[in-house]
């Protein structure tokens, strides 16, 4: 399976940026990875048109557990699918921290995403205090246990909270150990299908550190925040992914 290089634009991006960004992806996307752009909801429709038939796919940054309803400010999974999204990021630490998202909520959202035909990218990761207390793996195992629905057929993104947007990354040994622990947990939880799911690393991935992070065992791609906003940097990260 090719590595998945996913860009999380967060609450950045205006309409005028879509066409040049999409054109840069069309011109420069390497063939050996799967590229994914997750822009704010307002840009989905414009991106869907700009990326149509090209090398990159489109994703949302969140969805509500219900397929529709009186939920002001939320977005439903079928709406994302209709707008052209193929993936949806769920349980990002910014959503867990800023919107009180629990594992149970993420679990319900993942079920809604799958029901709508979307591929969920479920984020997990420890805080700095949890890592310093030696609890990182236990925390992540707990998040997986309670966030992933039975038969989960999606993507997991390991994003240490303290590495997001800080320029800091875990050591290669720590990424390797955590990805091995996640793989073991997925196998235990999901059986044989847990062996094949992609596990992304996320947290301050940049062109300068992408090659070494993406080459680590059980790293199946990257979830990229800040560096995904510039097509040039995003493409440099994608080019750094190992081949097959
Ligand atoms: C993210 O928000 O998922 C992320 C990894 O951000 P950054 O790359 O900016 O650390």
pLDDT tens digits, residue range 54-92? 999 999 999 999 999 999 999 999 999 999 999 999 999
Q: Which of 34, 64, 92, 137 is catalytic?
A: 92
* Residues shown for the chain: 244
Tens digits of per-residue pLDDT, 136-156?
999 999 999 999 999 999 999
Per residue in 165-217, pLDDT tens? 999 999 999 999 999 999 999 999 999 999 999 999 999 999 999 999 999 99
Query: If you take atom 7 of ligand 1, which residue's CA is the nearest one?
Result: 225
Give the closest residue (by CA) to ligand 1 atom 8.
225
Residue nearest to atom 2 of ligand 1 (CA): 225
pTM of the shown model: 0.98
- How many angstroms separate the CA atoms of 90 and 103, rounded? 10
* Token digits of residue 142: 């707990």
Q: What is the pLDDT of residue 19?
A: 98
Strand partners, 5: 35, 222
Helix, strand, coil fractions of the chain, as percent rounded to 5? 45, 15, 35
Average pLDDT over residues 121-128: 98
pLDDT, average across residues 19-41: 97
Distance (angstroms) between ligand 1 centre and the Cα of 164 equals 5
Tokens encoding 29? 């996307």
Beta-bridge partners for 89:
121
For residue 244, pLDDT over 90 is answered with no
Q: Best substitution site from 5, 7, 10, 238 to test ligand 1's pocket, by max atoms within 8 Å of Cβ? A: 10
Distance CA 117, CA 119 (A): 7
User: Atom of ligand 1 at shortest distance to CA of 157?
Assistant: 3
Give pLDDT, residue 235: 98
- Phi, psi (deg, nearest 5) at residue 180: -65, -40
Atom of ligand 1 lying closest to residue 94 CA? 2
Q: Where do the domains of the chain lie, and which CATH numbers do they carry?
A: 3-239 (3.20.20.70)
Give pLDDT tens digits for 98-123: 999 999 999 999 999 999 999 999 99
Kind and range of the H or E element at 120? Answer: strand 119-124
69 CA → ligand 1 middle, Å: 30
For ligand 1, atom 3, the nearest C-alpha belongs to: 225
Q: Is residue 159 annotated as a catalytic residue, yes or no?
A: yes
Residue 50, pLDDT score:
97
For ligand 1, the distance from its centroid to the CA atom of residue 4, given in whole angstroms, is 15
What is the arithmetic mean of pLDDT over 37-61? 97
How many Å apart are CA 90 and CA 95, to the nearest integer?
Answer: 8
């Amino acid at each position: 399976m090719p590595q998945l290089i996913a860009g999380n634009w967060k609450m950045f991006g205006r309409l005028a940026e879509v066409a040049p960004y999409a054109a840069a992806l069309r011109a420069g996307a390497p063939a050996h990875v799967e590229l994914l752009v997750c822009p704010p909801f307002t840009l989905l429709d414009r991106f869907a048109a700009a990326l149509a038939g090209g090398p990159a796919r489109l994703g949302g940054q969140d969805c509500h557990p219900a397929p529709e309803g009186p939920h002001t400010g939320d977005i439903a999974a079928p709406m994302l699918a209709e707008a052209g999204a193929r993936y949806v990021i769920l349980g990002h630490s910014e959503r867990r921290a800023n919107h009180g998202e629990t594992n149970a909520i993420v679990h319900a959202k993942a079920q809604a995403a799958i029901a709508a035909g979307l591929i969920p990218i479920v984020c997990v990761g420890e805080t700095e205090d949890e890592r310093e207390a030696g609890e990182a793996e236990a925390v992540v195992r707990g998040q997986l246990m309670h966030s992933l629905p039975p038969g989960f057929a999606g993507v997991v993104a390991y994003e240490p909270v303290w590495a997001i947007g800080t320029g800091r990354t875990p050591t290669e040994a720590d990424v390797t150990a955590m990805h091995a622990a996640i793989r073991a947990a997925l196998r235990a939880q999901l059986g044989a299908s847990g062996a094949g799911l992609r596990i992304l690393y996320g947290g301050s991935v940049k062109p300068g550190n992408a090659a070494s992070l993406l080459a680590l065992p059980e790293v199946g791609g990257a979830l990229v925040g800040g560096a995904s906003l510039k097509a040039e940097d995003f493409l440099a990260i994608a080019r750094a992914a190992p081949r097959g």
